Amino acid sequence: MTRQTAMLNAYTPGAGHLSPEDAALAARRAAALGPAYRLFYETPVHLVRGEGVHLYDPDGNAYLDTYNNVASVGHCHPRVVAAMAAQAGTLATHTRYLHDGILAYAERLLALFPPELSHVMFTCTGSEANDLALRIARAATGGTGIIVTDNAYHGVTLATAEMSMSIGAAVAPGPTVFPVPAPSAANYPKGIAAGFAQAVSDACDRMAAQGIRPALLIVDTIFSSDGVFPDPEGFLEPAADAIRARGGLFLADEVQPGFGRTGSQFWGFQRHGLIPDMVSMGKPMGNGYPLAGLALRPDTIAEFGQKARYFNTFGGNAVAAAVGMAVLDVIRDEGLQQNAATVGHAFTQGLRTLAQRHESLGETRSAGLFIGQTILTDGQPDPARTARLVNALRENRILVSSTGPQGDSLKIRPPLPFSLANVDQFLTTLDRLLPTL
Amino acid sequence: MTRQTAMLNAYTPGAGHLSPEDAALAARRAAALGPAYRLFYETPVHLVRGEGVHLYDPDGNAYLDTYNNVASVGHCHPRVVAAMAAQAGTLATHTRYLHDGILAYAERLLALFPPELSHVMFTCTGSEANDLALRIARAATGGTGIIVTDNAYHGVTLATAEMSMSIGAAVAPGPTVFPVPAPSAANYPKGIAAGFAQAVSDACDRMAAQGIRPALLIVDTIFSSDGVFPDPEGFLEPAADAIRARGGLFLADEVQPGFGRTGSQFWGFQRHGLIPDMVSMGKPMGNGYPLAGLALRPDTIAEFGQKARYFNTFGGNAVAAAVGMAVLDVIRDEGLQQNAATVGHAFTQGLRTLAQRHESLGETRSAGLFIGQTILTDGQPDPARTARLVNALRENRILVSSTGPQGDSLKIRPPLPFSLANVDQFLTTLDRLLPTL
């Protein structure tokens, strides 16, 4: 596989058709934030307000958001904002004092996991959660070897960036990082479950040849940056068995699929009928408030906890706990997991129906409201056409982006209150745009 | 130096005199959060509310907070809470869309730095800021060697924990981490400035002997975990020159001293008349909201920005920017930097006056409202007596902790609205308790 070097769907300074006001903002960004920041789209979007599944520009134009999974229960959800404000006005200290909030939230969250995962630790970002998992896995296994998929994304700390192949060739994989092909039918034509497990075993063999002991197999259970690979259900279990047979641990990275998005289950790993050793959580957990965490089996954390302790200044503070609790309340009270199942199913069916009339629509891979849609030209995946489509949708005020190593698929993951009417707007616009690209 | 293995001021489960309610909370913590979490004090404190410089337990008892530097402009400051709630109810998206808020805040923040530091990048935690700095320093210098002080604390990611010697012997220093003695008069009796610079040069020599090139000298400019070493002003400049002479960069970690706490200057590095290559910020930046960042010279980030890009999902989101702006407003409008200078001076003088009557009060080292106070027995620093004092103060509803490799000094760093009356309460209580310990 050729590793991409450029970011998918990134703005090229000077391109696009920015208004004078937006061009001025872009110039101020470059001056103040420096060269490492990127904007989305050929013509970046300027936002001033969000509500539900919509974002608004300064002229009051509504953009249908089919991309942002952070504001998972809807942009600026009033119950989440109210919980944040109430707790921030009452107490906002850390986990070295006794406080009810963090415990009530921890217990509520743990009740959503299999009983084997009975501890939870709190960080501010998914990067920190995966980075902590790495420290814990090293302590628990005595090994250092890490297996990831070959377009994985697991974070931006030094350690997690080195195991995030999707960042591109500029960041070399760490010396103990062993990528394996993502679990697609193309990569494993004889069967994904057995093939992926064999790839994990083979990676352990390559480690052993270098004197490296396995510590961790870490996968995003929806394989978001690899291209979205949810099926067949259960295919991950043999891979988890394979890493454990070699003394390593299995980490389900639920930063993308977690919190009900996949519809039929609350967590992505539950599609696969397995119990991970650790589960990392992030993006949707606080609906935008920096809240992330790690659920664990007690035996996994015993060694680390005994010797090294963990303190994260903001992680699990009283406000984070109140926000996290409000997010769980909203998911439950508004039936958002069920909505993800129902609307996600309709969305997928709608795309497949549309594909009967548009040769450029290839495979639709989905679980709930997480959808990967391959875009074709002459029957072959076409990253350039995908990019044109992403930008054409943006011009029609629908926000989406692409995924896969070369960006040949739409990555669709709207806020969970997405409605059938929203699906219809997306499909109608897609139907109109596809013949023009 | 013997590295500590236990955390200073940590609760030992089963000890203390917890109420039945608090004992139940502690048990729930152990069950839900697992073995890596620690509480403060022999008898942990249960908090339900905060306001200004006070924290409150469930019975309504007020604790004078002389320790928490995160709620730097005061616990639950209404202007900060209002800014957070207003923005969270309006828009909370990330830095890949154009938004005014992040730019207004970035420009306002950069105006507080020397003009050479003209870029700022945003993260959620100080750990992430220092971890990012490490990635940037590697790219800019081509080296990997890191110099830290020998009881430094710079974060909890894998990379920053390996350069945080204060975490204790359970976390081995990274193979490219070279500790040097902290800049105390005891460690450098012939002169701190020249001695510390020489130690940096010597560390570069040790790197060279192992084929390692220098990347970074990173110091907390108030040396908080090393024991608080602010004087003499200017002593850091030769060390910064020394690392640069060897091709490395100088990073001022302002997570502890920044945002006006040292009184005479807004940043700790300004005491030293130098301009760092990078400056990391954290704890007080969002008054408890997870907000941190890194200010840089453009040449430092050029290589990294060109190749690797940076995106932090929550870092620099619209709410973070609004909160950060409100914190800067409050510091300015309430004169908190000046208050830190005035009240910090009175606090220091009060401790020194008290020391004339109490042999157990040793050296007072301070800059503004950051104070290290050595506790003695028979003229020698006494960690055990310091621990007894910390717990006796807690029993008298004054919250403080200890610092230094063995914990032989009080670490005093209250919220910045601390008043002369608050100082008086602390000193009066100390005066009464010292003869009993």
pLDDT digit string (tens) for A18-53? Answer: 999 999 999 999 999 999 999 999 999 999 999 999
Domain A47-73+335-436, CATH among 3.40.50.360, 3.90.1150.10, 2.60.40.1220, 3.20.20.70: 3.90.1150.10
Would you state the pLDDT for residue B7? 87
Would you state the pLDDT for residue A22? 97
Contact assignment for A98 to B47 by CB distance below 8 Å:
yes
Chain A nearest-CA distance from B169, in A, is 8
Distance CA B89, CA B81 (A): 12
Which residue in the set A76, A89, A94 is minimally distant from B91, CB to CB? A76
pLDDT cut 90: percent of chain A above it: 94
Contact assignment for B309 to A103 by CB distance below 8 Å:
no
Q: What is the largest CA-CA distance in chain B?
A: 63
pLDDT at B306 over 90: no
Q: Chain B residue with minimal CA distance to A111?
A: B32
Q: Which of A63, A67, A291, A314 to mutate to test the interface with B (most CBs of B within 10 A)?
A: A314
Between strands B370-377 and B409-412, the pairing is: antiparallel
pLDDT at A430 over 90: yes
Q: Which of B7, B25, B81, B98 to mutate to test the interface with A (most CBs of A within 10 A)?
A: B98
CATH code that applies to domain A78-333: 3.40.640.10
Contact assignment for A33 to B76 by CB distance below 8 Å:
no
CATH 3.30.390.50 assigned to domain B20-73+336-436? The reply is no
pLDDT at A306 over 90: no
Buried b or exposed e, range B287-304, using 16+ CB within 10 angstroms:
bbbbbbbbbbbeebbbbb
Q: Chain B residue with minimal CA distance to A296?
A: B34
Which residue in the set B29, B103, B304 is minimally distant from A32, CB to CB? B103
pLDDT digit string (tens) for A375-398? Answer: 999 999 999 999 999 999 999 999
pLDDT at B25 over 90: yes
* Residue A1: band (very low, low, confident or very high) from pLDDT cuts 50, 70, 90: very low
Would you state the pLDDT for residue A4? 52
Instruction: Read off the tokens for A376.
Output: 């074709």
Contacts of B225 in chain A (CB under 8 A): none
Given a contact cutoff of 8 angstroms between Cβ atoms, the answer to whether A178 and A207 are in contact is yes
User: How far, in Å, are A321, A396, B72, B164, B285 from residue B289 at the CA level?
Assistant: 12, 36, 11, 23, 8
Q: What is the mean pLDDT of residues B237-264?
A: 98
Which residue in the set B34, B131, B305 is minimally distant from A121, CB to CB? B34
Mean pLDDT, all residues of chain A: 96
Contact assignment for A32 to B88 by CB distance below 8 Å:
no
Domain ranges in chain B are 20-73+336-436, 78-333
Contacts of B128 in chain A (CB under 8 A): 124-125, 127-128, 156-157
Chain A nearest-CA distance from B405, in A, is 16
* Residue A2: band (very low, low, confident or very high) from pLDDT cuts 50, 70, 90: very low
Would you state the pLDDT for residue A14? 86
pLDDT at B2 over 50: no
Which residue in the set B50, B96, B316 is minimally distant from A38, CB to CB? B96
pLDDT digit string (tens) for B270-287? Answer: 999 999 999 999 999 999
Chain A nearest-CA distance from B347, in A, is 24
Contact assignment for B76 to A94 by CB distance below 8 Å:
no
pLDDT at B4 over 70: no
Q: Which of A22, A40, A277, A313 to mutate to test the interface with B (most CBs of B within 10 A)?
A: A313
pLDDT at A349 over 70: yes
Distance CA A3, CA A265 (A): 32
> Which of A128, A200, A122 lies closest to A159 in space, CA to CA?
A128
pLDDT at A170 over 90: no
Q: What is the mean pLDDT of residues A108-124?
A: 98
pLDDT at B13 over 50: yes
Q: What is the mean pLDDT of residues A188-193?
A: 98
Q: Chain A residue with minimal CA distance to B294?
A: A33
pLDDT at A201 over 50: yes
Q: What is the mean pLDDT of residues A164-168?
A: 88
pLDDT digit string (tens) for B137-172? Answer: 999 999 999 999 999 999 999 999 999 999 887 788
- Cis before B232? omega within 30: yes
Q: What is the mean pLDDT of residues A136-142?
A: 97
Contacts of B89 in chain A (CB under 8 A): 76, 78, 81
Chain B nearest-CA distance from A272, in A, is 25
**What global pTM score does this model have?**
0.97
Q: What is the ipTM of this complex?
A: 0.97
